[in-house]
């Protein structure tokens, strides 16, 4: 029997949104505080079109080359503007082509990469929105700053005028299980909170920044406990399709298909979900 791709993906998306809302409520948070990034690296254009039809506008890719291709492919066919997220490793020689295509880079994992992004942002005449990747599990196979090294490098990163550090990104350990992942997510949140307390500029200081930075001033979302708010964010029905900016070190990108409810309970503001959105579809 042929699977109706559009119907199945719409059903899966609604189920994921529901689980996000439930996890947020359990943690005493608004579902609207969590942004869903649909990870599309293992699916094709048909599945992406189905996601768009279901209302999702935040898409994530791990490989820069694939992001370039898909950003161009869907540039004029998507209707409402898409927000592309690079969630995988970025080499410096791919920064120039990547930066114009993305709204948020989740994976800045070295000072050298940050400096390269800053230089390209200067060339483009706009700041680049980034998250700092932190290797919270300590696994050697993963990229990211060691947790103990992040605080020391922040002053150098903040000196880069075309780099906008919006928060941190991390991945739970592959084989640690739910409780290990919960502890890792909690540790990342605590690190983010320390950085925010020490380095985030107060609101008035942010308001006095230069014009190059003023285009991305913090925009707070009003509290809204309803699950409908989550659907609005996924559908891109706010800020004219632009990513909201909630200030320095406000974002926590953590949690994937297997553990995103735990990540939300521990403070995630962005979850990166792939396989849960495509369950029940034929293997690519």
pLDDT top residue among 130 and 211: 130
Q: Is 136 exposed, middle or buried (0-12, 13-18, 19+ CB in 10 A)?
A: buried
The helix (run of H) or strand (run of E) holding residue 72 is helix 64-73
- In the predicted structure, residue 223 carries a pLDDT above the cut 70: no
- In the predicted structure, residue 282 carries a pLDDT above the cut 70: yes
- In the predicted structure, residue 123 carries a pLDDT above the cut 70: yes
- In the predicted structure, residue 116 carries a pLDDT above the cut 50: yes
Q: How far apart are CA 175 and CA 184, in angstroms?
A: 13
Task: Give pLDDT tens digits for 160-219.
Answer: 999 999 999 999 888 778 899 999 999 999 999 999 999 875 544 444 433 333 334 333
Q: Whole-number mean pLDDT of the chain?
A: 85
236 pLDDT band, cuts 50/70/90, is: very low
Task: Give pLDDT tens digits for 34-54.
Answer: 999 999 999 999 999 999 999
List phi, psi (to 5°) of 195. -65, -40
240 pLDDT band, cuts 50/70/90, is: very low
| Degrees to nearest 5, angle at CA 187 with 185 and 188 | 65
pLDDT score, position 201: 58
pLDDT score, position 2: 60
- In the predicted structure, residue 96 carries a pLDDT above the cut 70: yes
239 pLDDT band, cuts 50/70/90, is: very low
CA distances from 97 to 27, 65, 213, 215 (A): 39, 9, 22, 22
CB distance 39 to 87 below 8 Å: yes
CB distance 99 to 83 below 8 Å: no
Q: Say how far residue 53 (Cα) sits from the centre of its chain.
A: 21
């Amino acid at each position: 029997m042929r699977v109706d791709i559009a119907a199945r993906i719409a059903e899966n998306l609604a189920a994921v949104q529901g689980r996000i809302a439930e996890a947020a409520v359990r943690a005493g948070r608004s579902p609207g505080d969590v942004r869903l990034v649909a990870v599309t690296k293992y699916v094709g254009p048909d599945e992406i079109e189905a996601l768009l039809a279901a209302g999702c506008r935040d898409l994530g890719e791990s490989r820069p080359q694939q992001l370039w291709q898909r950003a161009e492919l869907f540039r004029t066919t998507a209707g409402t503007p898409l927000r592309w997220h690079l969630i995988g490793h970025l080499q410096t020689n791919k920064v120039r082509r990547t930066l114009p295509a993305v709204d948020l880079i989740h994976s800045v994992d070295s000072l050298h990469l940050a400096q390269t992004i800053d230089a390209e942002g200067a060339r483009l005449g706009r700041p680049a929105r980034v998250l700092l990747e932190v290797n919270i599990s300590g696994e050697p196979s993963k990229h990211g700053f060691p947790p103990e090294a992040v605080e020391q490098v922040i002053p150098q990163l903040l000196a880069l005028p075309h780099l906008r550090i919006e928060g941190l990104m991390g991945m739970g350990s592959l084989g640690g299980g739910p409780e290990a992942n919960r502890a890792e997510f909690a540790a990342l949140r605590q690190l983010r909170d320390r950085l925010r307390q020490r380095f985030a500029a107060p609101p008035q200081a942010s308001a006095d920044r230069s014009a190059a930075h003023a285009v991305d001033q913090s925009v707070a979302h009003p509290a809204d406990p309803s699950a409908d708010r989550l659907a609005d964010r996924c559908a891109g029905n706010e800020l004219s399709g632009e990513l909201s900016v909630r200030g320095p070190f406000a974002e926590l990108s953590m949690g994937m298909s297997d553990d995103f409810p735990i990540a939300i309970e521990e403070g995630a503001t962005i979850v990166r979900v792939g396989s849960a959105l495509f369950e029940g579809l034929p293997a690519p």
